[in-house]
Structure 1
Amino acid sequence: MIKLAVYGKGGIGKSTMTSNLASAFASLGKRVIQIGCDPKADSTINLLGGKPVQPVMDYLREYDREPTQIEEIAKEGFNHILCIETGGPTPGLGCAGRGIITTFQLLKDLKLFETYRPDVVLYDVLGDVVCGGFAAPIREGYAEEVLIVTSGEKMALYAAENIRKAVQNFADRSYAKVRGILLNRRNVENEEEKVHAFAQNAGLPILADIPRSKEILHFEDMGKTVVEGGPKLPVSQKFFALAQRLLEDETNG
């Protein structure tokens, strides 16, 4: 099973990267779960035709009880991708990371992975914080590897380095390790050189180079990923290539 956590600066495009990668895996015949770990609960919306799944924390507040089956807190989207959103506390009250911890415990109690038996699990994690609840996806065997999304922007690279250091600090606890970098281009000056320099200094591969694309925005306006809406487009082929690479690496150990 491939288990990946996607981290990066807030607003850098983690959800776009994650949902398109999920779509590519699913289009290759893999059984996929995507778990959005953000109070905004919008990670999976473009896998669901623009109609969001009810976040776990909202469910708990509305019904004042825990769900008894996965279907109460999950929806199947494009190519049967199982979509789950942790959500967060009532705005201004409580810790957002707590929603992740609560959700993960519920999924464990409901035996999600034993029941669904996925080939791929993707965790789309809030912002550039790797502490408390936001570190949960890389603890206790949930995710085995981390993908860091960055552009060539100064603050995106700053966040990427903080994430790399934080994950490295967990290395002696058998937590997840950084697998590589996803370059999500913003067309800033010397972007390629800046990101390649960061990757080289960090000793990490750039696993995918995603161009700034009007097609991505076009299909997101329709509630779709670009992989679903235009699978033969060059930008979609980038996600297929990334999925294939990760699958081959998993097969080759």
Structure 2
Amino acid sequence: MKKIAFYGKGGIGKSTTASNVSAALSLMGKKVCQIGCDPKNDSTRLLLGHICKETVLDQVRRKDPDEICKEDIVHTGFHDIICVEAGGPEPGVGCAGRGIIVALQLLDKMKAIPDMDVTLYDVLGDVVCGGFSMPIREGYAKEIYIVSSGELMSLYAANNIAKGIRRFAARGEVRLAGIIGNSRNVPGEKELLTEFCKKLNTRLVAFIPRDKIVNLAENHKQTVLSYAPESSQADVYRALAKTIWENTELSIPTPMTFDELEKLAGTYGTQD
């Protein structure tokens, strides 16, 4: 079974990419589960066709854990993809990272997730501490993909995530599986990401072009695979899913210093 996680800077398109990859893997005949680890509980929106109405933590707040049923927290989305949202605390109360720990431990205790070919954890932003590192720290995910554009702050977040992966790799099986480039149409973006990957001791597994079909699909609460299956963008996600399924090129990353990162970004024209 593949156990993977997507990390990346907030707003980089991580959940959109994750959902389209899950859809593509499912259409390849794989049994897929996507677990959203973000208090906004919107990771599985494109698979369910709506914001998940019942998260794990919603149930924990209302019931004794022993009274929670699998059906309360495990939902079925596009092409029979299993969808779970960890959820988060009430705004201004509690720690979202701690919520992820509680949610994943409860899923384990309940044996709520059936045997899958692929389990994909979609994790909040670029935070690799506390509960947000749990998919890495506790071995829930073995293969980590970082979604990044060629923008400096996105690269900065990716580099920080790589530092966390390197730390946990020293005492476990987790590895960096590659960078997924999600284009923002900045100058020299693909070339910069390719060079960034070399510095990080990994590879650019995909470069996803910017296409309005993604926004149109999202406005219809669907993945591109569902909304526009014949589009060239759908083919991009299919190719990425195939790469992820077949990928064995895992590595321990070699993060850069911020000065090195700034210099690299400046070389490709991403700074003023």
Which residue identity does 1:152 align to in structure 2? G
Q: Distance in 2 between matches of 1:153 and 1:31?
A: 34
For the pair 1:198 / 2:196, whether they are aligned, the reply is: yes
For 1:96, the equivalent position in structure 2 comes to 96
For 1:119, the equivalent position in structure 2 comes to 117
Structure 1 residue 172: Cα displacement = 1.6
TM-score (norm 2): 0.87
Counterparts of residues 142-181 of structure 1 (less than 5 Å): 142-181=140-179
For 1:56, the equivalent position in structure 2 comes to 56
C-alpha spacing 1:53/1:2, structure 2 compared with 1 (3 Å): farther
Q: Whose radius of gyration is greater, 1 or 2?
A: 2
Structure 1 residue 6: Cα displacement = 0.3
Q: Is the 8 A contact 1:151 1:157 kept in 2?
A: yes
Q: Is the 8 A contact 1:53 1:73 kept in 2?
A: no
TM-score (norm 1): 0.94
Q: Distance in 2 between matches of 1:229 and 1:119?
A: 24
Q: Distance in 1 between matches of 2:51 and 2:169?
A: 38
Q: Is the 8 A contact 2:179 2:206 kept in 1?
A: yes
For 1:69, the equivalent position in structure 2 comes to 69
Task: List runs of 5+ in structure 1 lacking aligned partners.
Answer: none
SS at match of 1:112: coil
For 1:12, the equivalent position in structure 2 comes to 12
Q: Is the 8 A contact 2:15 2:122 kept in 1?
A: yes
| Aligned equivalent of 1:232, options 227, 230, 233 | 230
| Aligned equivalent of 2:210, options 209, 212, 216 | 212
Q: Is the 8 A contact 1:5 1:147 kept in 2?
A: yes
Q: Is the 8 A contact 1:60 1:66 kept in 2?
A: no
For 2:261, the equivalent position in structure 1 comes to none
Structure 1 residue 205: Cα displacement = 0.8
Runs of 4+ in 1 over 4 A off after TM superposition: 64-67
Q: Distance in 2 between matches of 1:77 and 1:222?
A: 15
Q: Distance in 2 between matches of 1:51 and 1:40?
A: 9
Q: Distance in 1 between matches of 2:133 and 2:240?
A: 24
Q: Distance in 2 between matches of 1:67 and 1:33?
A: 23
SS at match of 2:236: helix
Which residue identity does 2:20 align to in structure 1? N
Q: Is the 8 A contact 2:44 2:51 kept in 1?
A: no
